[in-house]
């Protein structure tokens, strides 16, 4: 069996980031006293200012869950197919950095270069991984 020297530590780091994002959602749910949904269906209580923290936390976690699995699948398959270590490490480091940057950018006033840059890097990684994977498959 192929030893996934790049994919395994990358997946482990990303798992920790997912736990952080999930804990953030839980904390914001507790603060907002909302167990399901984002709280937009209820009016603010007396003296309570409306907040966007819960919806931002939910979308940050969901965006992570939407993009990371496919990115890791590509990384693992490319690595198992003998992908160049340089490509693998650049892909892995860029993936971790953009997945850390995205929730930070989500909390900033939109539009901002952190959020836009992180999702652009994510898309470029998927495109590069797909093309390199197809090339490795055809070689």
Task: Give residue-wise pLDDT tens across range 69-113.
Answer: 999 999 999 999 999 999 999 999 999 999 999 999 999 998 999
50 pLDDT exceeds 70?
no
pTM, to two decimals: 0.91
In the DSSP assignment, the letter for residue 109 is: P
Q: Which domain holds residue 95?
A: 7-138
Give the residue-averaged pLDDT of 35-54.
Answer: 77
The residue behind tokens 């900033």 is: 108
Contact 112, 139 (CB under 8 A): no
Contact 70, 16 (CB under 8 A): no
1 within some domain: no
- The domain total for the chain is 1
The pLDDT score that the predictor gives to residue 40 is 79
How far is it, in rounded angstroms, from Cα 36 to Cα 65?
Answer: 18
Cα 106-20-34 angle, rounded to 5 deg:
75
122 within some domain: yes
């Amino acid at each position: 069996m192929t030893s996934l020297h790049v994919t395994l530590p990358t997946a482990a780091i990303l798992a920790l980031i997912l736990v952080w994002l999930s804990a953030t959602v839980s904390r914001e749910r507790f603060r907002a006293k909302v167990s399901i949904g984002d709280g937009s269906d209820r009016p603010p209580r007396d003296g309570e200012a409306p907040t966007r923290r819960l919806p931002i936390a939910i979308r940050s976690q969901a965006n992570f869950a939407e993009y990371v699995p496919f990115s890791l699948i590509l990384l693992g398959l490319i690595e198992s197919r003998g992908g160049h270590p340089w490509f693998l490490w650049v892909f892995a480091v860029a993936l971790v950095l953009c997945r850390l940057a995205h929730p930070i950018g989500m909390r900033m006033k939109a539009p901002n270069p952190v959020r836009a840059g992180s999702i652009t890097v994510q898309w470029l990684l998927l495109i590069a991984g797909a093309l390199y994977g197809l090339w490795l498959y055809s070689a």
